[in-house]
Structure 1
Amino acid sequence: MYEYRRLTPTQRAELVQQRLSRGYPPHAPPHVVTDKEFYLLTAACYEHKCHVKDECRRQELLNLLFDVFVTAGMEIRAWVVLPNHYHLLVHLTNFDELSRLFRLVHGRTSYQWNRDDNVTRRKVWYRYSDRAIRSERHYFATLNYIHYNPVKHGWSHSPYDWCGSSVHWYLANFGRQWLRDAWIEYPVRDYGKDWDDFEQDGY
């Protein structure tokens, strides 16, 4: 979205034409893979503003995400909620349900937070993205990426310092050594740089 804004009108028209020629919608990213079991789901606040600014609000969002996704038969395997975006590692039972679920979550939170902040017609969320998990390596690298996200973005010095993350659930249920072993065996490195280079022999 942000790179598109910096383009000239001619460059924008060329980009839209390229997308259309490939069968993609003009602006929204295409959902290339829709038949996997596990997905990394990401949603960001509009213009990356910090609308999820306090711990209470982050917990409110997380509670709603679990309520909506679990009610729909989905399983959230890992999560992190930051002041301006969040990531989920989810086991999906119906890919086509995603849009409806995000509309529910983002609609309710937008309405409530705008009321709380005494503003009207403020756009809180932009959109969500999905990335299919291709293999076991991809799965655990994604898990580590989610837990490391607060450090990556400068919100904490250690994954264990950030409350709005599943790292504490994994710590309680699997232990610190399990987390360390997973980090060593499935390092994040340049995670996301070459998405489609992960092996195809996964779930």
Structure 2
Amino acid sequence: MYEYQKLTPTQRKQLVQERVAKGFPPHAPPHPIDLQTFYLLTAACYHHHPYLTTPSRRQQLLDLIFEYFITHGFEIRAWVILPNHYHLLVYVHQFKTLGQLFKSIHGIISRQWNLEDKATNRKIWYKFSDRAIRCDGHYYTTLNYIHYNPVKHGYVRSPYDWTESSVGWYLETCGREWLRDSWVKYPVLDYGRGWDND
């Protein structure tokens, strides 16, 4: 999105033509793979503005995500809600319904927060992106990436210090030793490098 804004009108036109030729939407993130079962789903606030600065807003969004996703038969395996974006690791049984789910969730949140902040017609969300999980190693590295995200962005020193994350659930369910072994076996390293420029 941000790279597109830096292009000349001619470059933009050429990029749109290339996207359409590949079967992608002209301006939205492409979703070319819809046969997988697990996906890393990411949604960011428009221009990465931190609209989710309070724990109550992050929890409100998380509650709405769980309500909508579970009602529609999706299984959320991991999550993290940060001040300007969030990640979900989800079992996706009907890929085509994801767009409508995000539209509904983001629409409800946008209306409420714009009313609270007295900000008429403010755009809060950009479109979601997805990355299909390819194998077990990719799954567990993604899980660790999600839990490490608050540390990566400098919000906390330890993943266990961030409340709006599934790391606490994994700690309670699987134990600290399981989490430690997972970190060693499936290190994050440079996983996700450059994603914040999307």
TM-score (norm 1): 0.92
1:44 corresponds to = 44
Kept in 1: contact 2:79–2:146 (CA 8 A): yes
1:146 aligns with 2:146: yes
User: What code does the residue aligned with 2:61 have?
Assistant: L
Question: Post-superposition shift, 1:193?
Answer: 5.4
Partner SS state of residue 32, structure 1 = coil
Say whether 1:98 aligns with 2:108. no
Distance 2:25 2:145 in 1: 29
Instruction: Give me the whole-angstrom Cα distance separating, in 2, the residues matched to 1:10 and 1:25.
Output: 18
Cα distance in 1 for residues equivalent to 2:24 and 2:9: 20
Write the mapping of 1:91-170 to structure 2, written as runs, cut at 5 A.
91-170=91-170
Matches within 5 A, 1:1-203: 1-192=1-192
Distance 1:171 1:119 in 2: 39
Compare 88-97 and 15-24 and name the one that shifted more.
15-24
TM-fit CA distance, 1:29: 2.3
Residues 127 and 194 (structure 1), Cα distance of their counterparts in 2 relative to 1, 3 Å cut: closer
After superposing on structure 2, the runs of 4+ consecutive aligned residues of structure 1 that deviate more than 4 Å are none
TM-score, length of structure 2 as denominator length: 0.94
* Structure 2 CA distance for partners of 1:66 and 1:136, relative to 1, 3 Å: same
Rounded to whole Å, the distance in 2 between the matches of 1:75 and 1:165 is: 15
Q: What SS class does the counterpart of residue 126 from structure 1 fall into?
A: coil
Q: Is the 8 A contact 2:36 2:132 kept in 1?
A: yes
SS for the counterpart of 2:121 is coil
Task: Give secondary structure in 1 for the equivalent of 2:65.
Answer: helix
Partner of 1:199: none
User: Is the contact made by 2:24 and 2:32 (CA closer than 8 Å) also made in structure 1?
Assistant: no
Corresponding pairs, count = 195
Deviation at 1:93, TM superposition (A): 1.6
Amino acid at match of 1:31: H
* Aligned partner of residue 128 in structure 2, secondary structure: strand
Judged with a 3 Å threshold, the aligned counterparts in structure 2 of structure 1 residues 164 and 194 are, in CA distance, closer, same or farther, namely closer
Query: What's the % identity of the aligned pairs?
Result: 61
Q: Quickly say closer, same or farther: Cα 1:194–1:42, change in 2 above 3 A.
A: closer
Report which stretch shifted further, 36-45 or 11-20: 11-20
Distance 1:194 1:111, change over 3 A: closer
SS in 2 for 1:156: coil
CA distance in 2, matches of 1:188, 1:162: 18
Q: Name the amino acid aligned to 1:53.
A: T
